[in-house]
């Protein structure tokens, strides 16, 4: 999700990374889109569909029970006003799957690109996402489902990731997320980071908020100010180790420190094979 949100925030940079004209010769206008926030019910729907595609040996939007994405999302408890489903299979990792969905080679209407980057009036308002990845013994071995949707709740989210920048590259990398961190937006919005360090907390109304991240898994308390309007806002909390200090005596280490900041990442690698997307 971090890669996708980075591409949405800076589609021009994503275009350079992908090496493809995302405007499709001027058909689409590239403009930054707000970040998507993870939703547990959409994740449930996405995981269930990826698992079904593996277990029931099919690949498509309609499952053998005749259910399309809209019905499956409602069954998971998400009362959508609009939705979009994107599927991929056989790619070895999420980076490759996302790359090919954005390039959308062989898809005349470029529907995956339009959906994920919010390039149409119908997809621009989708603000929540569920991603389900299932690896198994099905014909394509690995299945990806991305369910984007929006509901009737008007309040936007403050969303992002809390992570330790272990390699010092100033961007989130898999494995750096800190789970179990309590994130507080003002006095009413709150969330607990998931296993990957991601969070999403609703802001009750437009305005300026102080966002606080803390808890035993973080080991410190971080704060940052954010301005919220009518759309989701991205705010990452980054824990950076302080540079090690040279000492005259051997065996003396440095001092750990932390700070907060906003970071985005756009990176992808070309898939050597041509798996499938739908």
Q: What percent of the chain has pLDDT over 70?
A: 87
d(CA 218, CA 221): 7
74 vs 188, higher pLDDT: 74
d(CA 22, CA 13): 11
32 vs 265, higher pLDDT: 32
For 144-168, the pLDDT digits (tens) are 999 999 999 889 999 999 999 999 9
Alpha-carbon dihedral angle through residues 114, 117, 121, 127, given to the nearest 10 degrees: 130
Q: CB–CB of 222/238 below 8 Å?
A: no
Mean pLDDT of 47-62: 98
> Which residue, 19, 20, 18, 14, is CA-closest to 33?
14
Mean pLDDT of 85-97: 97
Look up residue 26 and give its two tokens.
């001027």
Kindly report whether the global pTM for this prediction surpasses the value 0.75.
Answer: yes
Q: CB–CB of 244/221 below 8 Å?
A: no
In this prediction, residue 240 carries a pLDDT of: 86
pLDDT band at 261 (very low <50, low <70, confident <90, very high): very low
Element (H, E) at 12: helix 11-18
> Which residue, 49, 53, 65, is CA-closest to 137?
53
- What distances in angstroms separate CA 119 from CA 23, 34, 112, 124, one per listed residue? 9, 12, 10, 6
In this prediction, residue 241 carries a pLDDT of: 75
pLDDT band at 247 (very low <50, low <70, confident <90, very high): very low
């Amino acid at each position: 999700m971090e890669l996708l949100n980075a591409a949405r925030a800076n589609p021009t940079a994503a275009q350079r990374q992908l090496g493809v004209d995302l405007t499709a010769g001027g058909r689409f206008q590239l403009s930054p889109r707000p970040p998507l926030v993870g939703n547990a019910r959409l994740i449930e729907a996405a995981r269930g569909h990826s698992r079904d595609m593996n277990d029931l040996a099919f690949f498509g939007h309609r499952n053998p029970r005749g259910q399309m994405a809209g019905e499956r999302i409602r069954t998971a408890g998400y009362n959508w006003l609009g939705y979009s489903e994107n599927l991929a299979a056989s790619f070895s990792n999420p980076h490759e799957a996302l790359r090919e969905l954005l390039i959308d080679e062989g898809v005349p209407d470029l529907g995956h690109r339009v959906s994920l980057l919010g390039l149409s009036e119908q997809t621009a308002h989708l603000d929540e996402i569920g991603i389900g990845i299932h690896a198994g013994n099905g014909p394509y071995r690995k299945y990806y489902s991305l369910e984007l949707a929006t509901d009737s709740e008007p309040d936007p989210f403050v969303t992002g990731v809390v992570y330790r920048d272990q390699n010092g590259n100033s961007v989130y990398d898999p494995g750096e997320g800190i789970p179990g961190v309590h994130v507080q937006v003002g006095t009413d919005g709150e969330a607990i980071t998931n296993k990957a360090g991601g969070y999403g907390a609703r802001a009750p109304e437009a305005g300026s908020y102080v966002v606080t991240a803390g808890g035993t898994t973080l080991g410190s308390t971080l704060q940052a100010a954010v301005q919220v309007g009518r759309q989701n806002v991205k705010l990452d909390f980054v824990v950076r180790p302080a540079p090690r200090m040279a000492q005259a005596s051997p065996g003396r280490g440095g001092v750990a420190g932390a700070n907060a900041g906003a970071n985005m990442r756009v990176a992808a690698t070309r898939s050597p094979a041509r798996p499938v997307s739908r």
